[in-house]
Amino acid sequence: MTMPVLYLSHGAPPLADDQVWTRELASWSSSLPKPTAVLIVSAHWENAPLTLGATTTVPLVYDFWGFPERYYSVTYPAPGAPSLAASVRSLLTGPGTPVHDEPTRGLDHGAYVPLVEMFPAADVPVLQISMPSLDPVELMSVGRRLAPLRDDGVLIIGSGFFTHNLSRVTMADPTVAAPSWSAEFDLWGSEVLAARDFDALIDFPRKAPAGRLAHPRTEHFAPLFVSVGASLESGEAPASVIDGYWYGLSKRSVQFY
**Every domain of the chain and the residues it spans:** 5-256
Return all residues near 205 (Cβ < 8 A) that are at least 6 apart: 211, 212, 215, 218
Phi, psi at 250, each rounded to 5°? -70, 125
What's the whole-model pTM score?
0.97
Across the range 31-55, mean pLDDT stands at 98
User: Does the pLDDT of residue 16 top 80, yes or no?
Assistant: yes
User: Does the pLDDT of residue 96 top 80, yes or no?
Assistant: no
Q: What integer pLDDT is reported at residue 54 of this predicted model?
A: 98
The per-residue pLDDT of the chain, averaged, comes to 97
- The least confident of 93-97, 181-185, 201-205 is 93-97
Q: What integer pLDDT is reported at residue 4 of this predicted model?
A: 98
Model pLDDT for residues 218-235, shown as the tens digit of each residue: 999 999 999 999 999 888
Q: What integer pLDDT is reported at residue 224 of this predicted model?
A: 98
C-beta of residue 157 within 8 angstroms of C-beta of residue 38 = yes
Of the options 3.40.830.10, 3.40.630.30, 3.30.420.40, 3.40.50.2300, the CATH number for the domain spanning 5-256: 3.40.830.10
Q: Considering the chain, what percentage of its residues have pLDDT values greater than 90?
A: 95
Q: pLDDT class for 97, splitting at 50, 70, 90?
A: confident
Model pLDDT for residues 113-170, shown as the tens digit of each residue: 999 999 999 999 999 999 999 999 999 999 999 999 999 999 999 999 999 999 999 8
CA distances from 193 to 3, 84, 230, 243 (A): 19, 29, 14, 14
Helix/strand/coil (H/E/C) assignment for every residue in 159-212: EECCCCCHHHCCCCCCCCCCCHHHHHHHHHHHHHHHCCCHHHHHCHHHHCCCHH
User: Does the pLDDT of residue 64 top 80, yes or no?
Assistant: yes
User: Does the pLDDT of residue 204 top 90, yes or no?
Assistant: yes
Q: What integer pLDDT is reported at residue 171 of this predicted model?
A: 86
